[in-house]
Amino acid sequence: MDNRELFEAYNKDVYKTCLYMVRDPADAEDLCHDTFITAFRSRTDNIGQHRAWLIRIAVNRCLNHLRRKKLFRFKIESNLPRFAPANDLSAEQRAEERASRSEWAEVMKELPVKVRAVIVLRFVHDMTLSEVADTLSIPVGTVKSRLHKGLRQVKGILEKQERAIAREEDTREGCRAVSGTQIK
């Protein structure tokens, strides 16, 4: 695979990774180009997993960029993938999708960076556990434990949000009962 084929095959994945991490389209594009320049300069033909190798370079570039800007956070909210083209959805479905992406982003913000990276690579990029391990240069067992920890934390966060919503609804119902407003 020559450089042009490599770029055409993986530039969308690399750009998406950069965009998920830095949330700035201009910075993501620059980091994507830097990733490919680095890859082209250090290219060897015995690389078996081009995608994992390129995404690892992109992750490293993004982390260095964020450290320099002291913004060491993944910013995801508006960049989550769409499940259907906007014109195929009703206004109500688009509103639900936006709300779902916003909720997902809030949950992801609460996760530790290392756990978040594993979850993004596993579920957003649909990588296997071994691909995530190769990409992050960590053992598969570490990927499994971070994934388990992350999913457990996501469950806890969602349960906490549900309890808060239930308390808010109970409070509203109590206020209506006190004020004499009929609850339907």
171/94 same-domain check: yes
Would residue 82 count as lying in a domain?
no
DSSP state letters, 130-169: HHHHHHHT--HHHHHHHHHHHHHHHHHHHHHHHHHHHHHH
CA distance 83 to 76: 16
Condensed to tens digits (0 to 9), the pLDDT of residues 93-125 reads 766 766 666 777 777 778 887 888 888 888 878
What CATH number is attached to the domain comprising 30?
A: 1.10.1740
Please tell me the pTM assigned to this model.
Answer: 0.57
109/50 same-domain check: no
What pLDDT, on the 0 to 100 scale, is given for residue 30?
95
Look up the domain containing 94 and give its range.
89-179
Our measurement of the distance from residue 45's CA atom to the centroid of its chain's CA atoms, rounded to an integer in Å, reads 30
What pLDDT, on the 0 to 100 scale, is given for residue 76?
45
SS3 110: coil
59/121 same-domain check: no
Would residue 1 count as lying in a domain?
yes
What is the average pLDDT across 149-165? 88
What would the two tokens of residue 87 be? 């014109």
Would residue 83 count as lying in a domain?
no
Condensed to tens digits (0 to 9), the pLDDT of residues 21-68 reads 777 899 999 999 999 999 888 876 666 678 888 988 998 898 888 777
Condensed to tens digits (0 to 9), the pLDDT of residues 83-96 reads 445 556 677 776 67
Domain count, the chain: 2
Write b or e for each residue in 8-26: b if 16 or more Cβ atoms lie within 10 A of its Cβ, otherwise e.
eebeebbbbbbbbbbbbee
* Residue 134 burial (CB count, 10 A): 20
68/93 same-domain check: no
